[in-house]
Amino acid sequence: MPDSENPATSVTFPPTFLWGAATSAYQIEGAVREDGRTPSIWDTFSHTPGKTEGGDTGDIAVDHYHRYREDVAMMAELGLGAYRFSVSWSRVQPTGRGPAVQKGLDFYRRLVDELLSKGIQPAVTLYHWDLPQELEDAGGWPERDTAHRFAEYARIVGEALGDRVEHWMTVNEPWCSAFLGYASGVHAPGRTDPAAALRAAHHLNLAHGLGVSALRSVMPARNQVAVALNSAAVRPLSQEPADLAAARKIDDLASGVFHGPILHGAYPESLYVATAGVTDWDYVLDGDLALINQPLDALGLNYYTPSLVSAADPNAKGPRADGHGASEHSPWPGVDDVAFHQTPGERTEMGWTVDPTGLHELIMRYTREAPGLPLYITENGAAYDDKIDSDGRVHDPERVAYLHGHLSAVRRAIADGADVRGYFLWSLLDNFEWAYGYGKRFGAVYVDYASLERTPKTSARWYGRAARAGALPEVGAV
């Protein structure tokens, strides 16, 4: 449809829109025993038999630690304007306490300098799930002290990089850290204690708030501080009261448990009610909510697929189809009376439905939830069964269509009044996909895991054209 008929479908983006790609430390760096780095919970978890597909680990991953110059050169050749990466806490502060290891910080200094030399804006995430194992041994995120250790770590990294990095995120997807790590156990550290998961959620919130304050105490005022949330687009199966109540419970646990205190300084009252049988929330101390509710410069949103829920049929049997891995233990504390349903439509290799309307819905929700707060899409992407063709190329038209659809949804949201300032494709590289090992490929760049050779896929070339033009090419254009 021509733009003159419907401006919301315009394929052009604001000239200042940031086009980037994202990764995380444990998924790509490798070099897990070099330059003073000590094990994180993901090192321990991936080396525990039966926890990852094929027993895969991130010991080598895609060796970004040694190949970062090659990877940055590739980003520049593709035309990316920004790169979001995470810092490995145990590479910088091996025990989670005390002084930094300068060799660890030096790696990130070199990476930032290399990015800036190529005109690529660095965006730092301080925590992407890889807690130092020593802090987990001391109790992990269910322990309040871990939030204070995070603030110390944030100050160290902010002092080292804050003069050159303007975009900062405290924690990435705290929902996964709390509920997949401590309730369902499909992520590190693999614990299955619903009460501990809710304690972990609160202390991740507290870490965020303390981390914001720590960063601001050591960095120039121009720097932007944000958080990256994987809030859900939750939809009820019907408009029946029981299904609407089910959707509210999941929304509270997927989104409200984090954005409530972070944006509004309060947990939803309905969350307290739903989880009363699991915890009394006595670990929320006086003053905590004010510490968490720090003013932000931006909000990061990660989106992959919507959730469809209903009240559970008490007679129904079978696996929980929530898309978050197989476990006998639920990542949803206190809401066993909710059933998940597969949304209709095309699916990715993860089994997740491709639905760009959920991204538009999420953006517009936070435009209302936090008026005046700039938004960034800090993760969005898809896994497909990519192969190298006989011509030596990797053609992934499904991913191109996925990106076109979701970027079009972003543009519609901008036309509808949302202040979205950038998009980070997940992921730059095929990598270690957590408990799925190397079996799921999210990258725009194909990695041969034997040789570690990088091959940009069709989607990487397409996305690079979009980044250079500030507009979306046709799906078939490369």
Judge whether 173 counts as a catalytic residue: yes
Judge whether 134 counts as a catalytic residue: no
Catalytic, out of 29, 114, 143, 379: 379
Q: What is the secondary structure of 365-376 as a DSSP string?
A: HHHHHSTT--EE
Question: Among 439, 440, 443, which Cα is nearest to 428's?
Answer: 443
Strand partners, 12: 471
Task: State the Cα–Cα distance between residues 337 and 355, nearest whole angstrom.
Answer: 26
Question: Among 157, 179, 176, which Cα is nearest to 168's?
Answer: 157
Task: State the Cα–Cα distance between residues 348 and 22, nearest whole angstrom.
Answer: 19
Task: State the Cα–Cα distance between residues 76 and 57, nearest whole angstrom.
Answer: 29
Residue 442 near residue 384, CB atoms below 8 Å: no
Peptide bond into 10 cis (omega under 30): no
Catalytic, out of 136, 173, 398, 433: 173
HSE (side-chain half, CA atoms, 13 Å) at 437? 14
Residue 303 near residue 254, CB atoms below 8 Å: no
Residue 257 near residue 271, CB atoms below 8 Å: yes
Task: Give the active site residues.
Answer: 173, 379
